[in-house]
Chain A
Amino acid sequence: MRVVVDLTRCEGYGQCAFLAPEVFAMRRSEALMYELHPADSERTRVLRAAAACPVQALVVDQVHTLGRPAKAAPLKPANGKRPVEVGRIVIVGASLAGLRAAATLRREGYAGSLTLISAEPYEPYDRPPLSKQVLTGQVAADDTALPRRAEFEAEWLLGQAATGLDLAARQVHLADGRKVDFDRLLIATGARARPWPNAAEAALDGVFVLRTNEDAARLRERLTARPGRVLIIGAGFTGSEIASVCRELGLDVTVTERGKAPLAGALGGTIGAIAADLQRDHGVDLRCGVTVEALEGDGDGRLRRARLSDGTTLDVDVAVAALGAERNVEWLEGSGLAAGVWGVACDAGCRAFDVNALVTDNVFVAGDVARFPHPVYEYQFLSLEHWGNAVTQAQVAAHNMISAESDRWPHVSLPVFWSAQFGTNIKSVGVPTFADEVVIAQGSVAERRFVAVYGNRGRITAAVAFDQAMWLDFYQAQIERAAPFPPGPGMVGRPDGLQVMPADVPQRISPAYGATVVLTGHNPDERRVTLQRRH
């Protein structure tokens, strides 16, 4: 059986770890590490755990109580409305967003043809464990396949990259020359790891990135060989999680971060400083405001040293470039969609914009590749790389693909994500970078159990919890109703003397910065936009 835990929902009640302790394990108070492919002998225990979860966050592939796979369609449309007639739906990118969209289409009663195309040759698998359970060795890299709630009818073209999109002919072009027709298309091609910029250095044996199960398998293998010092370049979530695993494995690790603190890009410098303490408490050699100037190899092309901007040279066998992600949009070049380094822009209903910023009616976008306006954040376009966003956006996109205009939903759920590092569960709701100030509203920074609440011009815009996930629902509601910041007195667990601090959010450069747009034509019927290719 296959299991995945929606850790966006998880509040750390620990019921699963009680009832199936071989499968689910808690670190400290709420960081959950679990197996995605438990042994058949654990079946009853896993079913108990899934049933007991107070927030129903466990997704188990649906197996009938007698052990037969559950029958798929016909399932009832969620809202009782019949889906509109759509002949063929094609989904490009069969990972989290693609899979959830496909499942939603079938659940809502879509009965037409459904094709999933994916560059990777694997059935859809889960990525968050790759920087956690997989690197520690608890779970094998090729064993993180996502459960399928029910076997749904679909054609799977795995190991097939889409290379082009012909909007006029409504065709997706594949690497092998095939053309796949569609009436509605979902773009869910996600992102890939940004490589180390120097290609020769990136090619050294010992230099890694982490995005796919193959990346994770390679890195895990190298970590098992007990290398000397490991260098992590970039202290975002992925880099910090890898550093955490290295310490857990007893490896020496240096983390370099260009900014002033780990996670500062996502949580601001003030809370980032707490993350810095967390790393140092666990024995990480953390160097902020420091970049790696060069990676040096020996005659055999093996990584040996790193030269840092602080003037030091480190002997390292392994370096992981954790520099963030690049969106997989190349295949859309020239398609006429507003696709660029920022992703594929779409409206709140997940419909893609074309280059003229006109909304298309048959092309939808979801997951890491999407860029969408969020009303709560001044209608700014957000690009999120969050598991929970891929799930909810995929569901909204799928629903809208088969719904009449008047039944469409906006994707307006607040961004939520989690990260497990150094035994601590860090969860966030809202957009912490959309803030100027922050307070510790509950708990204790010294104990690393607290809720930080972010404010922007007197309104609560985000909350981040370190091992205090149970309170976040409250702050989510506060953000949704634009409650005043700082939160008022009269709260349990409130530290003495509430201190409003600057959130210290780094200057953001819009991801669309540098998009070169050329306008042509004069009359309204001929005005058109062209995107210039970046060099």
Chain B
Amino acid sequence: MAEAGVYEQILDYANRADPYPLYAELRRTPVARQSDGSYVVSGYREIVALLHDPRVSSDVRNIPEIAAEQEAGTALPSSFIRLDPPEHDRIRSMMMRHFGPPHSPGRVDDLEPRMLRIVTDLIDGFAGRTRVDIVEDFAYPLPVTVICELLGVPREDEPRFHRWSQAIIETIDPTTGTVAERERRNMEVRTELGTYMKELVDAHRRRPGDDLLSAIVTDPAVDLRLEELLSAAATLLVAGHETTVNLVTNGLLTLLRNPRVLDRLRHEPDLVIGTVEELLRFEPPVQLLSLRRSALADIDIAGTTIPKGAIISLALAAGSRDPARFPDPDRFDPDRQDNQHLGFGSGIHYCFGAPLARLETQLALGELARRLVNPRLAADPPPYRPNPGLRGPRHLYVEFDDVLPAQAIRASPTG
């Protein structure tokens, strides 16, 4: 079957650096049945429709192989991203209480000065060098520091959860084994991560700080079981630093391939806002939601019927380049209007940490653009990580002539 072949090619590491021509091929059948009986959806309208369709479940217990593994195992329960309403809604809103509106609207905005400090310090650290690995030296430490401070995770534990987090990410990579195998490994790691999180939560209960976890565990209005909290916190920790790293790295890579935009960023500070949105469309960190959702009923879409019980993969990155929705979709255009990209998904599972990722990336790219003198890629394309779903460079070596000092007075929004 031709379509199945295309999706397999996308998963093939050989195509990691530029999957976009394959996405275009995939989109010719916007809802394509695969040889394993699952469906891959790649058209913009179809993806949006399914993300808003209550007949599509995110509860992985509806996938028999996963349900069987979960029944046998004793790991933490699924986090809210793998659940449906009403559980999903309850857990997500409880986690939101101290992270965002309506109860804590200022939390992310208040982090801005701190984020800028971290960005500034990291770039200051480039001083005296003319070549850095943007991944290791910048794009990874930035979100990790932010998420650790936000959650109240000690930075020195980074090597431990870095390993777990890599392991978890690997289990959602469809090329690393069968669904059952991957779920088994996922549960093993979640168990370890859960134990770690439990210690952390206990510590915060005893001595609360001004971080998110402390706020949650000391708030009597939070109606969460301990395992639900541990699972959600583990997800935020993993998601918080496995995705933004790619957004920042893809961002600088794209800017270096589009020097005119990079140059404009030096003089037009607000341009970075649209630039980040366009990146989320053009080179999104989350490319595929693979084998995660299932149909609770027959769903007629794009001339096919996804039968009840079928497993669904959503090729978000293909949808965001659908010419039926975005004029000239393969052009990187930071001035693009009406940019309703799928970079953070859509519907009730819309990325929990989106505001954090946006702000971090805006500050990061703005500062890199202003401070690096004559930056250029050491290699294009750079080497990529294996994962086709959470896609991004493994290293991004960038050379430059000099690093300008941070501006003393920055035009901050409160000015």
Chain A residues close to B by CB (< 8 Å): 13-15, 17-21, 25-29, 41-45, 47-48, 51-52, 54-56, 65-66, 441-444, 449, 470-471, 473-474, 477, 488-494
Contact = CB atoms under 8 A, between A and B. Distances in A.
A18 B52 contact: no
Given A45-B109, A54-B346, A493 B86 contact: yes
A489 B297 contact: yes
Nearest to B58: A492
B346 A471 contact: no
B6 interface: no
Interface string B84-98: 111001000100000
A14 B101 contact: yes
Nearest to B103: A26
Contact of A48 (B84, B85, B273): B273
Interface string B242-280: 000000000000000000000000001111011011000
Contacts of B138: none
B54 A51 contact: no
Contacts of A55: 340
Given A449-B89, A491-B55, A56 B358 contact: no
Contacts, number: 121
Contacts of B269: 44
B101 A492 contact: no
B54 A18 contact: no
Contacts of B56: 492
B296 interface: yes
Nearest to B264: A65
A42 B56 CA distance: 39
Interface of B: 48-49, 52-59, 84-86, 89, 93, 100-102, 105-106, 108-109, 268-271, 273-274, 276-277, 295-297, 308, 338-340, 344, 346-348, 350, 354-355, 358-359, 362, 411, 413-415
24 contacts: A14-B100, A14-B101, A19-B355, A21-B109, A25-B102, A26-B101, A44-B270, A45-B109, A47-B270, A51-B276, A51-B339, A52-B354, A52-B358, A54-B346, A65-B271, A443-B85, A443-B86, A444-B86, A470-B347, A489-B297, A490-B55, A492-B55, A492-B57, A493-B54
B85 A66 contact: no
Given A44-B270, A449-B89, 16 more contacts: A14-B101, A15-B354, A45-B413, A51-B273, A51-B277, A52-B358, A54-B350, A56-B338, A66-B268, A443-B86, A490-B297, A491-B296, A492-B56, A493-B85, A493-B89, A494-B54
Contacts of B102: 14, 17, 25-29
The prevalent SS among residues of A at the interface is: mixed
Contact of B277 (A27, A52, A66, A488): A52
Nearest to B83: A492
A76 B411 CA distance: 35
B54 A52 contact: no
Nearest to B105: A21
Contact of A17 (B85, B101, B271, B338): B101
Given A13-B350, A29-B102, A48-B358, A492 B296 contact: yes
Contacts of A17: 100-102, 105
Contacts of A44: 269-270, 273, 411, 413
A86 B354 CA distance: 47
Nearest to B344: A54
A42 B413 CA distance: 6
Given A474-B53, A491-B55, A18 B347 contact: no
B contact face: mostly helix, strand, loop, or mixed: loop
B296 A477 contact: no
B308 A490 contact: yes
A52 B270 CA distance: 13
B356 to A, nearest CB: 9
A495 to B, nearest CB: 9
A492 B59 CA distance: 9
A470 B55 contact: no
Contact of B268 (A14, A20, A65, A490): A65
Contacts of B108: 18-19
Nearest to A44: B413
B358 to A, nearest CB: 6
A474 B52 contact: yes
A323 B84 CA distance: 42
B54 A471 contact: yes
Nearest to A489: B297
A51 B276 CA distance: 9
Contacts of A474: 49, 52-54
B33 to A, nearest CB: 19
A465 to B, nearest CB: 12
B49 A477 contact: yes
Contact of B54 (A21, A54, A65, A442): A442
Nearest to A20: B109
Which of A47, A52, A56: most chain B Cβ within 10 A?
Answer: A52
Given A25-B101, A54-B344, A491 B54 contact: yes
A48 B268 contact: no
Contacts of B84: 492-493
Contacts of B59: 492
Contacts of B344: 54
Contacts of B58: 492
* A-B residue pairs, 8 tightest by C-beta: A490-B297, A493-B85, A490-B296, A18-B355, A17-B101, A492-B84, A21-B105, A44-B413
A19 B358 contact: yes
Nearest to B296: A490
Contact of A15 (B57, B338, B355, B362): B355
B85 A442 contact: yes
Contacts of A52: 277, 354-355, 358
A13 B84 CA distance: 17
A63 to B, nearest CB: 9
A503 B229 CA distance: 40
A66 B100 CA distance: 30
A470 B338 contact: no
A183 B277 CA distance: 43
A491 B297 contact: yes
A41 B105 CA distance: 18
A470 B349 CA distance: 10
A18 B105 contact: yes
Q: Which of B59, B84, B338, B413 has the most CB of A within 10 A?
A: B413
Contacts of B295: 490
> A13, A14, A28, A51 — which one has the most chain B CB atoms within 10 A of its CB?
A51
A26 B355 contact: no
* Residue of A18, A43, A443 with highest tally of chain B CB at under 10 A: A18
Contacts of A470: 52, 347-348
Given A18-B355, A52-B358, A41 B101 contact: no
A65 B415 contact: no
A21 B277 CA distance: 20
A490 B57 CA distance: 9
A27 B102 CA distance: 6
A47 B84 CA distance: 33
Q: Among B105, B277, B350, B414, which residue has the most Cβ atoms of chain A within 10 A? A: B105
Contacts of B414: 41
B59, B339, B358: most-surrounded residue (chain A CB, <10 A): B358
A240 to B, nearest CB: 20
A472 B109 CA distance: 30
A470 B85 CA distance: 12
Contacts of A15: 354-355
A368 B86 CA distance: 38
B85 A29 contact: no
